[in-house]
Structure 1
Amino acid sequence: MKSKLTLCALAIVLAPAAHSQCCGFGMSYDNVVVWPQPDLRIPVPSPANAGKTPPVLPKSKPAVKANAHKLAQHFPPDKRAAMEKIYVQSMDVYLQVEKKMGWTPRDMAGGLAAFLVGNYMVLKNTEVSDEDFNAVASQIRAQDKLQGVNDRNDADKVRDVFEQSAMIGAFMALAYKSHQQQPQPPEVYENMRNAARENLQLVLKGDPANLLIDKNGMRFQ
């Protein structure tokens, strides 16, 4: 499934660059309002303390196909059917990663971390290890803004933020890996980088160029 998705992702990325396509890789502005903007000054909790923070789970039933459809609408009409399928497959990939990482199924922190890490990989053109990815998820999970997200928002909107974040993050990470295996023309990858930059800026409210992710989580330098 991964190789099939990677080839599909490459086909989309290789399409002529257009603003509508660039925006298609991003989070909707409605969901950004729900997104619990993390405070990057809060450190990653120690292993002993990390276990004390319960995972936050969406309360609504999964709606993967519906959210894939929503994301695909940002693309030109002739790309929407393909992108909808790709986003559904991206969610499958994310759930496999989630299981590999040992997280509680559909843990909000994991989906949000995937969004941040996937976009970071594309923007910085760099790999992020499982250890660093897990550190970002732990950092998000421990924050009060995430812990109260279900109390502040409609349940369906929280679910949509989780699923769309996970889909976009997995897609961007796979696009990065595809680029490493088969480098694309500079203008093609720059289109992806612009989308990644916009995504990160929307949810972090800071300059993504100064963002660093490592074993200590994420922070602005």
Structure 2
Amino acid sequence: MSVRLFRAVTLAALLAGVSPLSHSQCCGFGMSYDNVVVWPAPDLRVPVPSYAEAKKAPPAGLAKAKPAVQTNARKLSLHFPPDKRAEMEKIYVQSMDIYLKVEKKMGWTPRDLAGGMAAFVVGNYMVLNNTEVSDEAFAAVARQFRAQPALRELGDSRDQDKVRDVFEQSAMVGAFMALAYKSHQQQPQPAAVYENMRNAAIENLKLVMRSDPAGLRIDDSGIH
């Protein structure tokens, strides 16, 4: 996906004043918000394993069910106006492709649940704070999530379709927001447009962190 194509479609959606994932409804497995599956709230008191410790430990959970990228992209697209949904569905599919390339670059086990969750938090954090996050910090966040007992329980769930949806939706939204940030760095957008992006990031982070995103900090030691 070219940055130019991504910018054109993304800004078309953002200019419509729509913040994805902003309407909530609690139900069932963990929580689900308007077709978006949400993972358990992380416990940030859990120590972040070092690289050496992480290599000795197996992934906390893998998305083992058959991929459903198109279906999950369609679910995410429902958060945009009807005339934008077909475009956004394509963008989310492309965002998943980009995430999988990043996953490979990071050397993670394919479809590692913690990687998708880390991408979600990091991508939205970048937009919210208008700042880059290093690969080292991104990796630390992923290790932090792998150490979470709740994530291990999620990965062991019998409902592997839900685990897959958590992974794919998290990875798609995270990559989408990271690309939006990078696009803005290449060609700064009007203040009102970027404010819509920030509002979306705030809602996204509130959705999964269950805390005020303004207080979050990410560095080489993970999320604080």
TM-score by length of 1: 0.90
**Partners of 1:153 and 1:34 in 2: CA distance:** 17
Instruction: Rate the CA distance shift 1:4–1:188 in 2: closer, same or farther, 3 A.
Output: closer
User: What is the root-mean-square deviation of aligned Cα atoms in Å?
Assistant: 2.0
- Counterpart position of 1:37: 41
**Partners of 1:120 and 1:153 in 2: CA distance:** 31
Deviation at 1:41, TM superposition (A): 1.6
Query: Is the contact made by 1:59 and 1:155 (CA closer than 8 Å) also made in structure 2?
Result: yes
Query: What are the residue-to-residue correspondences of 1:159-170 with 2, within 5 Å?
Result: 159-170=164-175
Give a deviation string over 1:7-40, Cα, whole Å, max 9, x none: 34444355332xxx21358895267775022111
TM-score by length of 2: 0.89
Aligned length: 216
Query: Is the contact made by 1:9 and 1:175 (CA closer than 8 Å) also made in structure 2?
Result: no
Give a deviation string over 1:193-216, Cα, whole Å, max 9, x none: 111111111211111101000000
Pair 1:3-2:8 in alignment: no
Give a deviation string over 1:71-127, Cα, whole Å, max 9, x none: 111111110000000000000000010000000110000000000000000001100
Give a deviation string over 1:125-159, Cα, whole Å, max 9, x none: 10001110000001101111111113346211111
4+ aligned runs moved over 6 Å, structure 1:
30-33
Deviation at 1:50, TM superposition (A): 1.0
**Partners of 1:114 and 1:29 in 2: CA distance:** 19
Pair 1:149-2:154 in alignment: yes
Query: Is the contact made by 1:25 and 1:168 (CA closer than 8 Å) also made in structure 2?
Result: no
Instruction: Rate the CA distance shift 1:73–1:13 in 2: closer, same or farther, 3 A.
Output: closer
Give a deviation string over 1:44-72, Cα, whole Å, max 9, x none: 10222112321111121100000001111
Deviation at 1:5, TM superposition (A): 4.9
**SS of residue matched to 1:22:** coil
What residue identity is the alignment partner of 1:172?
Answer: M
- Counterpart position of 1:12: 12
Instruction: Rate the CA distance shift 1:135–1:38 in 2: closer, same or farther, 3 A.
Output: same
Pair 1:135-2:140 in alignment: yes
Query: Is the contact made by 2:37 and 2:166 (CA closer than 8 Å) also made in structure 1?
Result: no
Instruction: Rate the CA distance shift 1:34–1:25 in 2: closer, same or farther, 3 A.
Output: closer
**Partners of 1:132 and 1:4 in 2: CA distance:** 27
Pair 1:77-2:74 in alignment: no
Pair 1:22-2:19 in alignment: yes
